[in-house]
Chain A
Amino acid sequence: MLSSTRASAISLRPGRGTSYLRRSFRLLARIPGAWIGTAIVGLLVLMALFGPAAAPYDPYHISAADKLRPPSPAHWFGTDDLGRDLLSRVLTGARISLAVGVVVLVLAMVVGVGLGLIAGYWGGWMDEALMRTTDVFLAFPRLVLAIAIAATLGPGLSNSVLAIALSWWPWYTRLVRGQLLSLREQEYVLAAVSLGAGRPRILLQHLLPNVGTTVVVQASIDIGFAILATASLSFIGLGAQPPTPEWGAIIAQARSYMVDAWWYPTFPGTAIFLAVLGFNLLGNAVRDAFDPRLRAVM
């Protein structure tokens, strides 16, 4: 009698195989976009790791004799106005774009999540002040604030990364704060308080892990747009400066020659498109798989 009750109690407990993460990943594997996205992102990571080593030529090597050559067996992507090999430049650029995407997100997340935790948990005037600050940042059309900040800081890749991160953090603050408003009323927070845990401990040990998934899901959607925004700033002339083989910067230089050399803007442009597409497909799939509200539908 006793043993049978215990057995049924155990069987009622959710087993290891059905944990939240496991189920989410199983769902993820069923979305076709997840596979295509992973393949593209994987390729991008490989390019970032080995691209510079695998490049057939030095991406900075100028050769007046090879100016604006169309794609050929010697130069698969053709050459630019200074005779540099475009394949080598596009391959080298992968590392820059990937790094930029990651750094923008890490900066925006650290600031955004940190302030979101503070606003959501402390509440009161602190919450009010932080939220009104995000209102001001969000009043700017996307990219306009980034352009204004980058223009003040002066042209350069690191300045443009900083500018985009500075215009993006409020989205994360809003997201985290919204979650925390309900989380802080949960019983386990009360339990932690009654056990004498301090505010930093409650925030970092108990609340942060619970907003983690939402933040990671949002970040996986945003990373493609971070790459896109940086390339856009470079195209305007605020980001990476020549001769850096950043994709947006290459296209900016290509503009003057594109009438005669279609390949010059086309290959770096396609590289940006594929990188952003890969992250978007993967990000959307991650959101669909990890969002519990969509669970029932799938």
Chain B
Amino acid sequence: MAAYALRRLALLPPLLVGVSLLLFILTHIVPADPAKLIAGEHADLEEVAAVRHAFGLDRPLPEQYLLYLEKLAHGDLGVSMLTNAPVLGDLLQYFPATIELAASAMLLTVVLGVPLGILSAVRRGSAIDLVAQVLSMSGLSFPIFFFGILLQLVFVRALGWFPLTGRLDIIAVAPPHVTGLYLVDSVLARNLADLRSAALHLVLPGLTLALTSLAPIVRITRSTMLEALSQDYIRTAWAKGLVSQRVFVHHALRNALIPVVTVLGLYTSGLLGGVFLVELIFDWPGVGLYSVNAITAFDYSAIMGTSLLLTLTFVLINLSVDLLYAVIDPRIRY
């Protein structure tokens, strides 16, 4: 297990070098001359040349890449043109909001999706099964940005149950920074008002982000559960006279969970991509919103920094999913 984890970790650096190379190529095939962008609109040729030299843009490309890698290794992602601050610092500031959002979406996916999938497998062909099937097909086809807007129209405008945007009420003061996750920080600070406000603000964005992963989880839980239920050991369990709850949960579910965890890991990918759309709709101050704002300002360092961070997150999540298999299924050994 530990050896396997180490082997997987050893593959990480080459992959990240590849990812950084791809991002480097991307930033250097930009049709616009970055030196001109940095120097400003009214700079003359000499000033542009000075900027080009100062940023090392006049050196050969391989040399520039090595320079870029060296900076990357030191955590230097460049300076954001939008905020005039180092990109790494910006990302660290905005990332907790994204983690809080993505984690709650993940939680909603599991809490809503797995039981719905189990229910529709256990009551196969029933009305619940049909509803779950239709919902999951629709959820897969629904544009999440439109889903977010619909939720805002129904639950904010018509019903007034939840706030429209942001992480906290405007008058509220953010809890003292410990983890950056408002839910955790407000509990640590024993600030109930903040906790309530943060939770209310989290519901709609979390649900919106969960949409893309919810549908596949319902489908995969249903189909693996059906497969597990048709196995011989289930018949044996019934024959032993076990109560249905024990058959379903202890015998069937545990064996059906592996593909569910795989798919859950796979759909973090969709979740991390959706972060851009959801944070934009709900004005959620995370790295997605930071990056979308950077796009309109042609702030390449910020965009590339965000992409690198989300990719790193994705790769690490995939690694943990693989390691999780062994915990769920003791038959798997690495």
Contact = CB atoms under 8 A, between A and B. Distances in A.
Interface of A: 33, 132-133, 135-137, 139-145, 147-149, 151-155, 224, 228, 231-232, 235-238, 248, 251, 254-255, 258-259, 262, 265-266, 269-270, 272-273, 276-277, 280-281
Contacts of A235: 143, 145, 277, 280
Nearest to B302: A151
Nearest to A133: B18
A143 B26 contact: no
B179 interface: no
B149 A273 contact: no
Contacts of A139: 15, 18-19, 311, 314-315
A31 to B, nearest CB: 13
Contacts of B145: 232, 235, 248, 251
Given A140-B311, A237-B292, A280-B141, A258 B272 contact: no
Chain B contact residues: over half helix, strand or loop, or mixed? helix
B310 A141 contact: yes
Given A265-B146, A272-B143, 6 more contacts: A141-B268, A142-B270, A147-B276, A232-B143, A235-B145, A273-B143
A144 B277 contact: no
Contact of B276 (A236, A266, A270): A236
Contacts of B291: 147
B219 to A, nearest CB: 10
Contacts of A258: 149, 152-153, 157
A262 B30 contact: no
Nearest to B140: A280
Contact of A144 (B27, B157, B300, B307): B307
A152 B27 contact: yes
Chain A contact residues: over half helix, strand or loop, or mixed? helix
B130 to A, nearest CB: 12
Contacts of B152: 258
Contacts of A152: 26-27, 29-30, 300, 303
A136 B295 CA distance: 23
B273 interface: yes
Nearest to A259: B157
Given A144-B272, A144-B311, A236-B292, A276 B143 contact: yes
A154 B32 contact: yes
Interface residues of B, number: 50
Nearest to B154: A262
A254 B146 CA distance: 11
B274 A143 contact: yes
B142 interface: yes
Q: Which of B145, B270, B304, B307 has the most CB of A within 10 A?
A: B145
A148 B15 contact: no
Contacts of B271: 141
Contacts of A262: 153, 157
B281 interface: yes
B307 A148 contact: yes
B276 to A, nearest CB: 6
A33 B140 CA distance: 15
Contacts of A276: 141-143
A251 B144 CA distance: 12
Nearest to B318: A139
A153 to B, nearest CB: 7
Contacts of B22: 136-137
A133 B18 CA distance: 8
A232 B212 CA distance: 13
Interface string B125-141: 00000000000011011
A258 B304 CA distance: 32
Nearest to A149: B26
Contacts of B268: 141
A122 B157 CA distance: 60
Nearest to B295: A151
A5 B152 CA distance: 75
Nearest to B18: A136
Nearest to A145: B307
Interface in B281-313: 281, 291-292, 294-296, 300, 303-304, 307, 310-311
11 contacts: A141-B270, A141-B314, A144-B310, A147-B307, A151-B294, A152-B29, A232-B145, A262-B153, A272-B143, A273-B138, A276-B141
